[in-house]
Structure 1
Amino acid sequence: MVSENITLCSRRIAERNLKIAFVESATSGRLASEFALTPFSGQILLGGIVCYDACTKQELFDIPEEIIKSFTPESAEVTRLLAERLIKFFKCDIAVAVTGLTTEGGSETDDKPVGTMFIHIKLPEDKYISHREVFEGLAPDIIKQTIERAGELLSEIMEKQEVEPVDEPEYYEPSPITDVNLPS
Structure 2
Amino acid sequence: MKKDLINQCGQLLIEKGLTIAFAESATAGRLASEFSLATDAGKFLQGGVVCYDARLKEYLLDVPAQQIKEFTPESPEVTRSITLGLSKLIDADIFIGVTGLTCPGGSEKPEKPVGTMFIHAVKNGKQLLASRIWFGGSQEAIVAATVDYVVRQLITLLSESDSVKI
TM range (shorter): over 0.9
Give the equivalent residue in structure 2 for 1:15. Answer: 15
Q: CA deviation at 1:3?
A: 2.5
Q: After superposition, what is the alpha-carbon deviation per residue over 1:113-153, rounded to whole angstroms, capped at 9, x for unaligned?
A: 00000110112362321011000000000000000000011
Give the equivalent residue in structure 1 for 2:48. Answer: 48
Structure 2 residue 97 is matched with structure 1 residue 97: yes
Q: After superposition, what is the alpha-carbon deviation per residue over 1:74-124, rounded to whole angstroms, capped at 9, x for unaligned?
A: 000000011111111111100000000000011001110000001101123
Deviates more, 1:5-14 or 1:144-153: 5-14
CA distance in 2, matches of 1:3, 1:114: 27
Verify the 8 A CA contact 1:8 1:155 in the aligned structure 2: yes
Q: What are the within-5 Å matches in structure 2 for residues 76-87 of structure 1?
A: 76-87=76-87
Give the equivalent residue in structure 1 for 2:121. Answer: 121
Closer/same/farther in 2, CA of residues 97 and 42 from structure 1, 3 Å limit:
same
CA distance in 2, matches of 1:161, 1:39: 23
Q: Which amino acid aligns with 1:21?
A: A
Q: CA deviation at 1:62?
A: 1.5
Give the equivalent residue in structure 2 for 1:64. Answer: 64
CA distance in 2, matches of 1:101, 1:84: 21
Closer/same/farther in 2, CA of residues 9 and 161 from structure 1, 3 Å limit:
same
- Aligned identity (percent) is 44
Instruction: With the length of structure 1 as denominator, give the TM-score of the two structures.
Output: 0.84
Q: After superposition, what is the alpha-carbon deviation per residue over 1:32-74, rounded to whole angstroms, capped at 9, x for unaligned?
A: 0110000030110000110000111111111111100111000
Verify the 8 A CA contact 1:116 1:132 in the aligned structure 2: yes
Verify the 8 A CA contact 2:63 2:85 in the aligned structure 1: no
Give the equivalent residue in structure 2 for 1:172. Answer: none
Give the equivalent residue in structure 2 for 1:149. Answer: 149
RMSD across aligned C-alpha pairs, in angstroms? Answer: 1.3
Verify the 8 A CA contact 1:2 1:37 in the aligned structure 2: no
Deviates more, 1:124-133 or 1:80-89: 124-133
Verify the 8 A CA contact 1:102 1:142 in the aligned structure 2: yes
Closer/same/farther in 2, CA of residues 150 and 156 from structure 1, 3 Å limit:
same
Q: Secondary structure at the match of 2:52?
A: coil
Structure 2: gaps (5+ residues): none
CA distance in 2, matches of 1:125, 1:11: 23
Give the equivalent residue in structure 2 for 1:139. Answer: 139
Closer/same/farther in 2, CA of residues 37 and 2 from structure 1, 3 Å limit:
farther
Q: Which has the larger radius of gyration?
A: 1
